[in-house]
Amino acid sequence: MKTHDLTTGSVFRRSLASSPLRYGDFRALWLSTVFTGASFIGETVVLGWLLLERTDSAFVVGLGVALRALPGLLLGIPGGALADRVDRRLLIRLGGFALAADAALLGGLALAGQLAVWHILLLTFLGGCIRTLSQAARQSYAFDIVGPAQVVGAMAFMTLGQRVGGMAGSLGAGLLLAAWGAGEAYLAMALCHVLSIAAVMLARTRGQAAPVSRPPVWDGIKEYLTELSSNRSLGVLVALTAAVEVFGFSNQAVMPSLARDLLDLGPGGLGLLNAFASGGGMVAILTVSLWGEVQRKGRTFLIVVLFFGAALVLLGLADRLAVALIAVALVNGLAALTDLLSQSLVQSAVANDLRGRAMGSWVLAIGLGPVGHLQIGALAALMGVSLALIANGALLMALALGVLLAGSSIRRL
């Protein structure tokens, strides 16, 4: 028994010694990301339910989610250029303070009975702007800490942290909505932002792979646009990421309608669906973390996108809670893998001093999500949530098959 314990302990220590978690700065960033994930997904639950309750419109819910993601399209590359210009830890901390204030204002207005739909939409958009300006810095800083040899592992652990936090945040937000209301839920999300700041304050260094040059923001944008126009692999990756965001991740906009109108659930049920979604992502990323470095990342990315579309079709066909829970876990597990692979591929496709801006273009690509949110919201209003999900899933499958069969350079990455 003692020998077994020693062997198990040795295996654990060897695993820790070879993982990104061996870096103290990465552990601090990871813990910060857990709290950020809790606040992000928790706010998604509150936003969707609150807008649906106030307006009874799937389109307005889609509009709210779209406004939250729109800043990625507007500020993605400037945010990446800013991340290449200043200390990334500073951007993460300042962004956390601003997001805490935004959530606290929403909570205060709700508790005072003064929260109108236009308040929700405006402050949601402002929160999206703040998040966009710090998002590229967070992911790039993870690469800075571990270096290029462990980029997939670092992105896997970062995504796992987001999913762990997201699972807790979705359950907590659903329970708070049901027991008290939106005000208390928003204040809880503000607290999560504060805890995220406290965690990242523990990070001591800029990281071993931090960029050497720090060009002015405008010069950095021009330099990166030149790189984007000449780097074919990078261009294909950004375009594919945008398409996956439009047709795949847009399912989040119809989750409140799916819960209430098709499955006859309340806010607690919506929280349960989102918890299974976060759990599916967590299991997928944990599997990749244990599996090790992914080979032939480009081909793997396309295969994951194909199955992502198939899972959306299954979700559209779900007419019972058990089936919906399985489908939503699959959808979000595959979504998490597309995020992980696309971030790793984008950062690996450019020189080290361009990585912040490369992540900025990734943020820009996911900033096209509002197109998908509005589209699926309109489709759901026109022909129902089920057919909207099936249509987007089929489009995603067709896209992945087309790129696989066309022999694109993405397959060889």
Q: Where are the domains of the chain?
A: 22-202+215-412
One digit per residue, the tens of pLDDT, for the chain of length 413 reads 444 444 444 444 554 556 788 888 999 999 999 999 999 989 988 998 889 888 888 788 878 877 887 787 788 888 888 888 888 899 999 999 999 999 999 999 999 999 999 999 999 999 999 998 888 889 888 888 988 777 777 888 887 888 788 888 988 998 998 889 899 999 999 999 999 999 999 999 988 777 777 777 777 777 777 777 777 777 778 888 888 888 888 887 788 888 888 888 777 778 788 788 877 877 887 777 666 666 677 788 889 999 999 999 999 888 888 888 999 999 988 988 888 888 888 877 777 777 777 777 777 777 777 788 778 888 888 888 889 999 999 999 998 888 778 766 666 66
- At residue 180, the pLDDT reads 92
- At residue 245, the pLDDT reads 87
Identity at 230, one-letter amino acid code: S
Question: In angstroms, rounded to a whole number, what is the distance separating the alpha carbons of residues 83 and 285?
Answer: 26
What does the CA dihedral 390, 393, 398, 403 come to, rounded to 10 degrees?
Answer: 180
- At residue 109, the pLDDT reads 95
Identity at 107, one-letter amino acid code: G
Which stretches within 112-231 are classed as H helix? 117-146, 151-179, 182-200, 217-230
CATH architecture of the domain formed by 22-202+215-412:
Up-down Bundle (1.20)
Instruction: State whether residue 19 is helix, strand or coil.
Output: coil
Note whether 242 and 366 are within 8 A (CB). yes
Instruction: State whether residue 147 is helix, strand or coil.
Output: coil
- At residue 87, the pLDDT reads 87
- What's the angle, vertex CA 282, arms to CA 279 and CA 287, rounded to 5? 130
- Distance (Å) of CA 277 to CA 13, 162, 170, 390: 31, 12, 9, 18
The residue written with tokens 């780097």 in the block is: 231
- At residue 233, the pLDDT reads 74
Question: In angstroms, rounded to a whole number, what is the distance separating the alpha carbons of residues 48 and 63?
Answer: 10
The residue written with tokens 């020189």 in the block is: 351
Question: In angstroms, rounded to a whole number, what is the distance separating the alpha carbons of residues 272 and 298?
Answer: 33
Instruction: State whether residue 271 is helix, strand or coil.
Output: helix
- At residue 413, the pLDDT reads 67
Nearest residue to 365 via CA among 198, 196, 264, 244: 244
- At residue 11, the pLDDT reads 42
